[in-house]
Amino acid sequence: MLGGCRGPLSVLDPAGPSAGAIAQVWWWMFGVAVAVLVLMVVLGALAMRGRRGGQGEDAGADAHRFPGDGARQRRIARRCLIGGGLLLPGVAITALLVFGSPAGFHQLPWPGAAAAPLRVEVTGHQWWWEVHYPDTGQRLRNELRLPAGRAVDVHTRSADVIHGFWVPRLGGKLDAVPGRTLVVRLQADRPGTYRGVCAEFCGAGHAHMPMVVQAMPAEDFDAWLNASPAAARTPRPPAVAAAFAQEAGR
Ligand SMILES: [Cu+2]
């Protein structure tokens, strides 16, 4: 089970601050969910034990009941309703809001929150990704190149239906909606090859629109970004070519 926590599409193996914030919220939610599960199992076991202990006494139960037991049971039931139905969900949702909101802020393109973020435009098509760098006009297909260690504002759009732009190890997912431009801020801390997918069912070819994300050392990226379009059409780096070959063989 723990083996599934790694891999190119695992949100539990974050490689940047946006994805790290999401993973942290996930681990807190997981921890609280496990605690609640254990509590419920223990309470369930205690209830079953109590019920077994009381078997066979039902016939004479009324004879042993003290006056006022009904009122006491109603009071306990009311406390359970208020505690379990109002207080517990209220506290849980408030805590989730307090811890989850900062994780959400990491994904947003706040002015001044990052030094000179790079702007990239990603357009979803049935069924491929068009990647455009407006500063220099470079274009890529199903491949996103980023400078490692620098924030990147990905402006997502769609040319046809709703797609979902998602690079799990770098940040949250964002719908690419026709007629709208939505922005998510990603960052890769280290150079490397990452994977992206379409996370919104968009038709028969939905499963076949993966994206390979290449985080490059900043100087290599700048050299590529500022090269003439013809010169920029260099062969894919070996890691990217290998990732494409792996996708093709799936
Ligand atoms: Cu899709």
Q: How far is Cα 185 from Cα 171, in angstroms, rounded to an integer?
A: 8
User: How far is ligand 1, taken at its centre, from the CA of residue 159, in Å?
Assistant: 12
User: How far is ligand 1, taken at its centre, from the CA of residue 222, in Å?
Assistant: 31
Kindly compute the dihedral angle of the four CA atoms of residues 21, 23, 26, 30, in this order, to the nearest 10 degrees: -130
The larger pLDDT score, comparing residue 240 to residue 92, is at 92
User: How far is ligand 1, taken at its centre, from the CA of residue 209, in Å?
Assistant: 7
User: How far is ligand 1, taken at its centre, from the CA of residue 138, in Å?
Assistant: 24
User: How far is ligand 1, taken at its centre, from the CA of residue 167, in Å?
Assistant: 13
- Tell me, what DSSP letter sits at residue 13? S
Residues near ion ligand 1 (CB < 5 Å) are 163, 198, 202, 206
Query: Average of pLDDT values for 3-24?
Result: 84
- Tell me, what DSSP letter sits at residue 180? -
Residue 32's pLDDT is 86
The larger pLDDT score, comparing residue 49 to residue 1, is at 49
Lowest mean pLDDT among 94-98, 165-169, 201-205, 244-248: 244-248
Summary mean pLDDT of the chain: 84
User: How far is ligand 1, taken at its centre, from the CA of residue 201, in Å?
Assistant: 4
User: How far is ligand 1, taken at its centre, from the CA of residue 158, in Å?
Assistant: 11
User: How far is ligand 1, taken at its centre, from the CA of residue 164, in Å?
Assistant: 6
Query: Average of pLDDT values for 147-168?
Result: 94
The larger pLDDT score, comparing residue 84 to residue 250, is at 84
Residue 12's pLDDT is 86
pLDDT at 63 over 70: no
Residue pair 106/18 in contact (Cβ under 8 Å)? The answer is yes
User: How far is ligand 1, taken at its centre, from the CA of residue 63, in Å?
Assistant: 67
pLDDT class for 65, splitting at 50, 70, 90?
low
Helix (H) or strand (E) holding 123: strand 118-125
User: How far is ligand 1, taken at its centre, from the CA of residue 57, in Å?
Assistant: 61
- Tell me, what DSSP letter sits at residue 12? T
User: How far is ligand 1, taken at its centre, from the CA of residue 141, in Å?
Assistant: 15
Q: How far is Cα 178 from Cα 43, in angstroms, rounded to an integer?
A: 50
User: How far is ligand 1, taken at its centre, from the CA of residue 30, in Å?
Assistant: 28
Instruction: Give the model confidence (pLDDT) of 159-206 as tens digits.
Output: 999 999 999 999 889 999 999 999 999 999 999 999 999 999 999 989
pLDDT at 146 over 60: yes
Q: Is 7 helix (H, G, I), strand (E, B) or coil?
A: coil
Residue 151's pLDDT is 92
User: How far is ligand 1, taken at its centre, from the CA of residue 206, in Å?
Assistant: 4
User: How far is ligand 1, taken at its centre, from the CA of residue 207, in Å?
Assistant: 7
* Three-state SS sequence of 76-101: HHHHHHHHHHHHHHHHHHHHHHHHHH
